[in-house]
């Protein structure tokens, strides 16, 4: 067993991370939960980094690889006045991002690569470049285009993450059909992602790690967004056309990525690219289908590659 550690950068409530560490006990992990940042002692110098936890530590020499998962910042209410919170969070993230970006070994995935790859404008450009079919789309603040897509039963969704924080609670903006009665006042102040609606046969979530592909067919009662709550969803493994797989790998190569979750809709054997999530969730698909996605994650983090065969 390799005595070096896998550094997992995440949050204390990351159940996928819990699952991964519990399943693969033959490997050593160091978990850095950024929402508990103050419980660690972290130092960077010209000699690299060192992170001390309550019962273990990791440094540049003992770190085998880094898995950048789902970090969130520590709550600072009652410690600092609210106007200092964003400053402290930026400082914290800058330190952690620097550790990850400067690490010479295997990283899944560097924040700079992830940030670039998740940009929807870039995704539309790359998807076209590699040969994917796309629904008609516009990312815009032009109200005339909103009316155009509304007239043809269009879809509206966020350009970025769609998360709104209000006091201590969070709201999420999801994909919806455009409501013709939608108030267009102040529309020009924020862009939106507009897309033509396609009556799908089914959706496919394709998870890729290294050279391994894990396609899952998704049948949903909700014809707009299968992620919505109280929606009945059926999952099954499926095959994918060779050209779709080839295009996905080309897309990832252009982004410098080794992990990505592609979403497609399929109608009459025509595959339409919707988006790619550079840090998408995957454990739920393993639970639903039995696909051993976690093994490929660990293969990549421990060897820098993945086995080709399932």
Does 99 lie in the same domain as 65?
A: yes
Query: Is the residue at 308 inside a domain?
Result: no
Does 278 lie in the same domain as 253?
A: yes
pLDDT at 229: 56
Does 290 lie in the same domain as 219?
A: yes
Neighbour-count burial for 6-33, b at 16+ CB within 10 Å, e otherwise: bbbbbbeebebbeebbeebeebbbbbbb
The CATH number of the domain holding residue 65 is 3.40.50
Does 80 lie in the same domain as 17?
A: yes
Map tokens 């999801």 to a residue: 174
Does 230 lie in the same domain as 172?
A: no
Does 99 lie in the same domain as 150?
A: no
pTM, rounded to two decimals:
0.91
Task: Write out the chain's pLDDT in tens, 310 residues.
Answer: 568 999 999 999 999 999 999 999 999 999 999 999 999 999 999 999 999 999 999 999 999 999 999 999 999 999 999 999 999 999 999 999 999 999 999 999 999 999 999 999 999 999 999 999 999 999 999 988 988 898 888 999 999 877 777 766 777 788 888 887 776 778 899 899 999 999 989 999 999 999 999 999 998 755 555 555 556 789 999 999 999 999 999 999 999 999 999 999 999 999 999 999 999 999 999 999 999 999 999 999 999 877 654 4
Query: Is the residue at 71 inside a domain?
Result: yes
CA 156 to chain CA mean position, Å: 20
Does 257 lie in the same domain as 177?
A: no
Query: Is the residue at 309 inside a domain?
Result: no
Query: Is the residue at 217 inside a domain?
Result: yes
> Which has the closest alpha carbon to 30: 51, 16, 48, 2?
51
Query: Is the residue at 38 inside a domain?
Result: yes
Query: Is the residue at 127 inside a domain?
Result: no
- Say how many domains are in the chain: 3
Contact assessment for residue 143 and residue 182, using Cβ atoms and an 8 Å cutoff? no
Does 66 lie in the same domain as 25?
A: yes
Query: Is the residue at 184 inside a domain?
Result: yes
Query: Is the residue at 68 inside a domain?
Result: yes
Does 85 lie in the same domain as 10?
A: yes
Q: Containing domain of residue 290, as a range?
A: 115-120+200-303
pLDDT at 131: 98
The CATH number of the domain holding residue 282 is 3.30.470.20
Does 149 lie in the same domain as 56?
A: no
Does 91 lie in the same domain as 24?
A: yes
> Which has the closest alpha carbon to 237: 284, 281, 205?
205
Residues 185 and 103: their CA atoms lie apart, in Å, by 47
């Amino acid at each position: 067993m390799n005595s070096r550690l896998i550094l997992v950068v995440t949050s204390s409530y990351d159940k996928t991370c819990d699952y991964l560490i519990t399943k693969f006990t033959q490997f050593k992990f160091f978990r850095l939960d950024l929402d508990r940042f103050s419980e660690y002692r972290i130092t960077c110098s010209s000699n690299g980094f060192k992170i001390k936890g309550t019962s273990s530590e990791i440094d540049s020499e003992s770190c085998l690889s880094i898995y950048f998962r789902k970090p969130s910042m520590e709550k600072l209410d009652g410690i600092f006045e609210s106007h200092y919170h964003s400053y402290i969070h930026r400082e914290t993230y800058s330190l952690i991002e620097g550790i990850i970006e400067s690490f010479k070994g295997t990283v899944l995935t560097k924040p700079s690569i992830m940030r670039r790859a998740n940009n929807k404008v870039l995704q539309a450009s790359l998807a076209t470049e590699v040969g994917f079919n796309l629904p008609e789309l516009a990312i815009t603040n032009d109200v005339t285009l909103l009316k155009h897509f509304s007239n043809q039963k269009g879809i509206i969704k966020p350009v970025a993450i769609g998360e709104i924080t209000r006091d201590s609670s969070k709201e999420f903006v999801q994909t919806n059909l455009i409501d013709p009665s939608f108030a267009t006042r102040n529309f020009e102040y924020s862009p939106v992602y507009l897309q033509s609606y396609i009556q799908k046969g089914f959706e496919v979530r394709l998870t890729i790690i290294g050279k391994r592909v894990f396609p899952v067919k998704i049948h949903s009662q909700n014809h707009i967004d299968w992620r919505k709550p109280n929606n009945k969803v059926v999952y099954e493994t499926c095959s994918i056309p060779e050209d779709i797989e080839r295009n996905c790998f080309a897309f990832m190569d252009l982004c410098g990525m080794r992990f990505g979750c592609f979403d497609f809709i399929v109608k009459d054997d025509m595959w339409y690219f919707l988006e790619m999530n550079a840090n998408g969730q995957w454990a739920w698909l393993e639970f639903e289908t039995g696909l051993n996605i976690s093994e490929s994650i660990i293969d990549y983090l421990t060897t820098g590659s993945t086995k080709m065969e399932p």
